[in-house]
Chain A
Amino acid sequence: MAAYHRPPPRRSPRRTVHQTARRRDSGGRRMVQLVICGGIFVLLAAWKLLSPQSIAPFARTAGGLLGQDADFRAAFSAVGRAIAGQSPVSDSLQEAYTAVFAPSRYEAERAAQVQKGAMAAADRLHAVMAAHPMVTQPPPEEDEGTVTQSYTFFSQPLPEKVTMAQEIFPFAHTTPLQGTLTSTFRWREHPIYGGERFHYGIDIAGTKGSAIGAFAGGVVKAVGEGASLGKYLMIDHEGGITTLYAHCSKISVSSGQTVAMGEKVAEVGDTGDATGPHLHFEIHRDGMYLNPIYYVEVH
């Protein structure tokens, strides 16, 4: 950086004096320059420190002019995309220009693009959900001809062997117990053990001893008693469907017995880990848990 300056040759005294004077002047001039620059810096620093609000608009204008808002990254990426053939050259050039010379418009355009993408994704989701409707009991004031569709969005993934798909059963079926729905087919905090667990069936409240009817005609597959399920039974139906009825106080049928739809198979109880008398009802198909809510009428 320091260039080598040769001192000028001393040819005559007049010249020497003249040159010396010039050198002194330039030294003095540099001093003045330094003082002015230093003064400007001190003034600006003081202004910024003492009154940051008043300097803010100037800083913004200066920054804007210098190109603080310009998105060079986006401009370069646009060019790169054109080279890769990912987008046409004219589009890329336009994008690059907008990113550098019209950054506020560029930001707005980008935001609009993001929103469009989000709305397209929402439309796709809507289409998927429409293909698999979850029909719950329509409210009584609903007039005929309208269909209520409600969607339940889960924040957690479903466990394995669980499906929310509604199926068509090849047989007539009925609600095993008329009563209030107290718990549904979803993730919940376990009422006794705490912690997030998936509830693999629905709970219908009932008075102890009320009759529980078979969901549909079939053959009693199993009758048993377990620590959590209490007294329970399982019935095999057509099409690989199996139903489970748990927390019963009394089982009225035996394994291997053929039952008809609605026939009394058990009585409501609170055996097993139940907090009150209710029927825990599950529907299985080939090892998959289905959501019983589609196939029963409860309130």
Chain B
Amino acid sequence: MWRSTEFRLEPGFFLLLALAAALGALDVLPVLLAAAACHEAAHLAVLGWFHVPVERVALTAAGVEIRAPIQTRLSYPQEIAAVAAGPACNLLLALVSARGPGWYLFAGANFLLGAFNLLPVLTLDGGRICYLLVSWLWEPVTADRLCRTLSAVTAWALLLLLGGLLLLTGQGLLLLLGAAGLLAGCRRG
């Protein structure tokens, strides 16, 4: 299964490194990347459990990305499990690793990554879980409409919140740009 998987390093990844360096956040970037790697590894593990072939694993400007073909062979609960595995892994790691002072950074990064991914925005795991759940419990058309609305509302709310904070405190432009990117991503999708 792994022989057909393409492992790729995209140039955008180096932009991410450069941004981290410019922000002086090179000490948190490895921790975040590690958390992202655990996240993706959990996805891969569950996908592997269900014998789903993985098309591509890439280091991109967004961190670590997995591309797998459309899940036509998985049932709803199975696919929900595969998608939820990522954030669940992060949250579990956060709980388990918050033992000593040296681990707070790792635990915090994991928690924030997991919680962020659970936001009901279409491009994130949370939005996907939402769509799958509603599709399963009702049907895909309703799910599509409901989740698109929820996704847009969440993304706009985040954007407005961060914009307000930027105006108030003069800080957090980067976070705002990230939220804008999120909104753009879910509009395109």
Contact = CB atoms under 8 A, between A and B. Distances in A.
Interface of A: 1, 63-70, 72-73, 75-81, 83-86, 100-103
A83 B94 contact: yes
Interface in B11-33: 11, 22-25, 27-28, 31
Contacts of A77: 104-105, 108
A190 B108 CA distance: 56
B7 to A, nearest CB: 14
| Chain A, interface SS category | helix
Given A76-B104, A84-B98, A100-B171, A68 B109 contact: no
Given A83-B94, A84-B103, A84-B107, 18 more contacts: A63-B22, A63-B23, A65-B173, A66-B23, A70-B23, A70-B174, A72-B25, A75-B108, A76-B104, A76-B108, A76-B112, A77-B108, A78-B104, A79-B104, A79-B107, A80-B109, A83-B107, A101-B165
Most buried by B among A63, A79, A80: A80
A101 B169 contact: yes
Contact of B173 (A66, A78, A81): A66
* Chief secondary structure at chain B's binding surface: helix
The 7 closest A-B pairs by CB, nearest first: A80-B104, A80-B108, A84-B98, A79-B108, A76-B108, A80-B107, A77-B104
Contacts of A1: 10-11
Contact of A73 (B10, B11, B28, B172): B28
Nearest to B99: A84
Nearest to B60: A1
B106 interface: yes
A75 B173 CA distance: 16
B108 A68 contact: no
Q: How large is the interface on B (under 10, 10 to 19, 20 to 34, 35 or more residues)?
A: 20 to 34
A63 B23 CA distance: 7
A66 B109 CA distance: 20
Contact of B105 (A68, A69, A80, A103): A80
A176 to B, nearest CB: 55
Contacts of A101: 165, 168-169, 171-172
20 contacts: A1-B10, A64-B171, A65-B173, A66-B23, A68-B23, A70-B23, A70-B171, A70-B174, A72-B25, A72-B28, A75-B108, A76-B104, A79-B107, A80-B98, A80-B109, A81-B98, A83-B98, A83-B107, A85-B98, A103-B171
A260 B110 CA distance: 78
B131 interface: no
B94 A80 contact: yes
B59 to A, nearest CB: 13
A84 B104 contact: yes
Q: Which interface residue of A73, A78, A83 has the most chain B CB atoms within 10 A? A: A83
A100 to B, nearest CB: 6
